[in-house]
Amino acid sequence: MIPDLGTVALRLLDPETAHGLAIAALKHAPLPRAELDDPILATRIAGLDLPNPVGLAAGLDKNAEALHGLSRLGFGFVECGSVTPLPQPGNPKPRLFRLTEDRAIINRMGFNNAGLETFAGHLRARPSATVVGANLGANKDSEDRAADYVTGLRRLTGLADYFTVNISSPNTPGLRALQGRDALDDLLGRVAEARTTAAPVFLKIAPDLTAAEIAMIVEAALAHRVDALIVSNTTLDRPDGLRSSDRTEAGGLSGDPLKARALTALRDAAAVAAGRIPLIGVGGIASGQDAWDRIRAGASAIQIYSALIYEGPSLVGRIKRDLVARLRAEGFSSVSDAVGASR
C-alpha cells in the first residue's frame, strides 16, 4: 500500500481504480524500508525462515509486479496471485465493493490476471531477501483444472519460495468442488508428482466448511505431503448485522465480518491437525489482538489484506509491536512457543 494518508485518499475512489493506483505506488514510489524486526518474531514454517509471522495474503499483487514496494512494508512473507496458466480478464465490472460501515470487502474478481508468463517474468526480478509465495489458480474455462495447478507449479519452480494451491475462491464456478475428497486426492496427487524441489506447497481452504469437511481436508493434505494449510479464504455467507448498502452483492466477503468464522475454521483444523501440519491464519485480522488469537489457536503465521484497505500499511508494524509485547508479557521466547497455547 502507500502511506496511511494516501490510504484515506484512495478510499474516496472506486475500489478497483484505487487498487490499481496502490499497485502503481508500490511499484514506483520511493518507500522507506521498515525497521528491523525484533528477533523474538523470527519463526520457521515448512522450512521457510521468516523474520516475522505477519504475511500479505494473495489478492493484492495478482501479477507479482509490486514486490519491491511490498518488500519495504515489513511483512515476514508476501503471497502474490492468484495466477492462472493463461491470462484472463476476470468477471465483468463492477466486481469489487467496499463495505465501509462493516470494515469489509466483497469481491467477485474471478482470477483476473496476466497469466503465468508475465508472472514468471516479474518473479525473475523480485527482491531476493523477501520470502515470496505464488498463489496458483485454474482458468475459468479449463477442461482439466488440476492440470492448471500442475502447470503453474512447474512453470514457477525456482522462482517462488513456496506455492499455494487455491481451491477455495468462490468466484470461479465449480472451483470449490475441488475440496471434495475424490477431486482433492486427484489434484494433490498430481501436484505431489510434479514437485521437483524442496519449495513447500500450501493448500488454501474455504471457511464455509463443516468441522468434518475440514478434518477430511487435513487428512488428505497430510496424505499428499502438503506442507501447510491456509485457513481461510473469503466467505459466501452474509452474517446478520451487515449495514453497508453493498452487502447483498455476490462474491466473497472478507474483513471484519469474516473474523469469527475464520477463527472457528482455524480451531477446527488445529484440533484435527494436532501439530502434524502447520497452519496459517487469515480472515478478518486487523489488530495485534486478532493475530495473537490466531497464533494461540494454532496458527504458526498469519496473513492480512482487507484490513490494509482501512488501516493502511502502518498496520503491519502495529501488529508486530503488539505481538512482541504479548510474547514477552506471557513469557514466551518465540512465536513458535505460543502456537496453540490456548488449545
Q: What is the DSSP letter of 101?
A: G
Q: Does 109 appear as a known binding residue?
A: yes
CA distance 209 to 213: 6
Q: What is the DSSP letter of 60?
A: S
Q: 280 near 302, Cβ under 8 Å?
A: yes
CA distance 117 to 52: 30
C-alpha closest to that of 27 among 58, 78, 53, 64 = 64
Q: Does 255 appear as a known binding residue?
A: yes
332: Cα separation from own chain's centroid = 26
CA distance 292 to 287: 9
Q: Does 202 appear as a known binding residue?
A: no
324: Cα separation from own chain's centroid = 22
CA distance 162 to 259: 25
Q: Does 62 appear as a known binding residue?
A: yes
Q: How crowded is residue 210: how many other Cβ atoms within 10 Å of its Cβ?
A: 10
Q: Does 63 appear as a known binding residue?
A: no
Q: Does 321 appear as a known binding residue?
A: no
Give the β-pairing of 48-50 and 43-45.
antiparallel
Q: Is the dihedral of CA 279, 285, 287, 289 positive or negative?
A: negative
Q: Does 18 appear as a known binding residue?
A: no
Q: Does 136 appear as a known binding residue?
A: no
Q: Does 144 appear as a known binding residue?
A: no
Q: 223 near 169, Cβ under 8 Å?
A: no
Q: Which residue has the cell 471434495?
A: 180
Q: 251 near 108, Cβ under 8 Å?
A: yes
DSSP track, 272-303 = HHTTSS-EEEESS--SHHHHHHHHHHT-SEEE
Q: Does 305 appear as a known binding residue?
A: yes
Q: Does 306 appear as a known binding residue?
A: yes
Q: Does 111 appear as a known binding residue?
A: yes
Q: Does 110 appear as a known binding residue?
A: yes
Which residues have a catalytic role annotated?
169
Cα–Cα distance list, 32 to 52, 195, 267, 292 (Å): 18, 37, 37, 27
Q: Does 77 appear as a known binding residue?
A: no
Detail the residues annotated as belonging to a binding site.
58-62, 82, 107-111, 135, 166, 171, 204, 232-234, 255, 284, 305-306
Instruction: Please state the residue numbers annotated as binding site for substrate.
Output: 62, 107-111, 166, 171, 233-234
Known binding site for FMN: residues? 58-62, 82, 135, 166, 204, 232, 255, 284, 305-306
